[in-house]
Structure 1
Amino acid sequence: MLYAAGLFALFLTPGPVWVALMARTLSGGFGAAWPLAAGVVVGDVLWPLLAILGVGWLVSVYGAVLSVLKWVASLVFIVMGAAILRHRDADLASDSRLTQPGRWSGFVAGLAVILGNPKAILFYAGMLPGFFEIGALSAWDIAAICALSAAVPLVGNLVLAASVGRARRLLASPRAVRRTNTGAALLLIGVGVAIPFL
């Protein structure tokens, strides 16, 4: 229960995942946001698993991979933001490949943002051992921790996307569409620019 509360507190702390999720929801609705949330789940399972297994050599190797992933994530968000900005007058509901880059693109964006999210890395690598006696965990314990690590943020991310999606429906005028698309594009570009410095 304490660990679940810690995960919920982590979710409530705004970070790159929140910004990316809100930007995708504003530009493409809930349908564009849930694949990002699914991509985040992979990292939310991977980080605690790495923390529990304590594979030192993997973490040291992963540091270089993490650096590359930060730049990939940065590029993905900047390109997505630029694409939305170019077509900011398009209807929010239109099925444009630029404003709704697809499920796979959303999934990869979610994976990139969680793997390069220092907040998640610090929580799982630094705080997780404080919740559990790592050496005494069984395979079932590890599975339960990974499931909880995936479920709490996933539910939070889906609720956030659904809430932003409902607000998005209120923005039907062309002027509101332009402002919303511009805001979503600037959020995506902002995340892309910020990621390498986090």
Structure 2
Amino acid sequence: MTLTFQQLALYAGALFILFMTPGPVWVALMARAMSGGFRAAWPLALGVVVGDVMWSVLAILGVSWIVSQYAGFLDLMRYVASVTFLFMGYMVIRNADKTIASDSRLTRPGIIAGFVAGLAVIIGNPKAILFYMGMLPGFFDLSQLTVADIVAIGALSAIVPLIGNLIMGAFIGKVRALLTSPRALKRMNLTAGWLLVAVGVLIPFL
């Protein structure tokens, strides 16, 4: 295994910040948890895990081939990752007072329906696609990754969002109260936005 603890810790932190930024997965999880409680929410969280692992592995395998063909691509992607994080942070800060709408199509009961909804929402989530395909190369030297490294990255990509989604599903009442308070929502979004900016600033120096 070639990855250091610091690299994995920074990646885990970025995954946590990504989870904390409201988006399609939050909408889906809140919709199901509000309609059926934790029993309706956990299958969706498992579906999201499959999508997260899929995107991370595809990003590693696809970009690794490009790196082997074109010298300097990795350095370019590192700066792309930095700029993307800065842009995401700016957009979150700019829209810090915006609320999140619910989607009744996501509340269909059943374990399979919940799992499929979670898989669909993460596969079609532009935030996830942007993160894994555009920014993952900024965290690791993909040309040097071993099988153990890929497993570690995939595991983090699964575990960090899963823990967050399960906790949110279990305490959806408190989370819902927080999100319906415009002042609290703005404060949370500002925090997430500045954290994204901080990660974007750090990436070029790692």
- Fold-level similarity (TM above 0.5): yes
Deviation string for 1:35-76 (max 9, x for gaps)?
A: 0000000011000100000178xxxxxxxxxxxxxxxxxxxx
The corresponding residue for 1:160 is 168
Does residue 153 of structure 2 align to residue 145 of structure 1? yes
The corresponding residue for 1:196 is none
The corresponding residue for 2:29 is 21
Supply the distance in 1 between the matched residues of 2:174 and 2:111 (Cα, whole angstroms). 20
Deviation string for 1:179-198 (max 9, x for gaps)?
A: xxxxxxxxxxxxxxxxxxxx
For 1:79-158, what aligned pairs fall within 5 Å after superposition? Answer: 80=105, 101-158=109-166
1:29, 1:165 within 8 Å by CA — same for their partners in 2? no
**Cα separation, partners in 2 of 1:133 and 1:15, compared to 1, 3 Å:** same
Q: Percent identity?
A: 68
Deviation string for 1:94-141 (max 9, x for gaps)?
A: xxxxx6610000000000000000000000001000000001000000
Structure 1 runs (4+) deviating above 4 angstroms are 165-168
**Cα separation, partners in 2 of 1:100 and 1:147, compared to 1, 3 Å:** same
The letter of the residue matching 1:39 is G
**TM-score normalised by L of structure 2:** 0.60
Unaligned runs of 5+ in 2: 1-8, 66-101, 177-206
Supply the distance in 1 between the matched residues of 2:174 and 2:11 (Cα, whole angstroms). 31
Supply the distance in 2 between the matched residues of 1:32 and 1:152 (Cα, whole angstroms). 20
Deviation string for 1:115-171 (max 9, x for gaps)?
A: 000000000001000000001000000000000000000000011111115789xxx
Supply the distance in 2 between the matched residues of 1:136 and 1:17 (Cα, whole angstroms). 32
1:3, 1:131 within 8 Å by CA — same for their partners in 2? yes
1:54 aligned counterpart, secondary structure: helix
**Cα separation, partners in 2 of 1:39 and 1:115, compared to 1, 3 Å:** same
1:30, 1:165 within 8 Å by CA — same for their partners in 2? no
**TM-score normalised by L of structure 1:** 0.62
The corresponding residue for 2:38 is 30
Stretch moving more, 156-165 or 14-23: 156-165
The corresponding residue for 1:50 is 58
1:47, 1:124 within 8 Å by CA — same for their partners in 2? yes
The number of aligned residues is: 133
1:48, 1:124 within 8 Å by CA — same for their partners in 2? yes
Supply the distance in 1 between the matched residues of 2:159 and 2:37 (Cα, whole angstroms). 22
Of 12, 19, 24 in structure 1, the residue corresponding to residue 20 of structure 2 is 12
Q: CA RMSD in A?
A: 2.4
**Cα separation, partners in 2 of 1:15 and 1:167, compared to 1, 3 Å:** closer
1:28, 1:100 within 8 Å by CA — same for their partners in 2? no
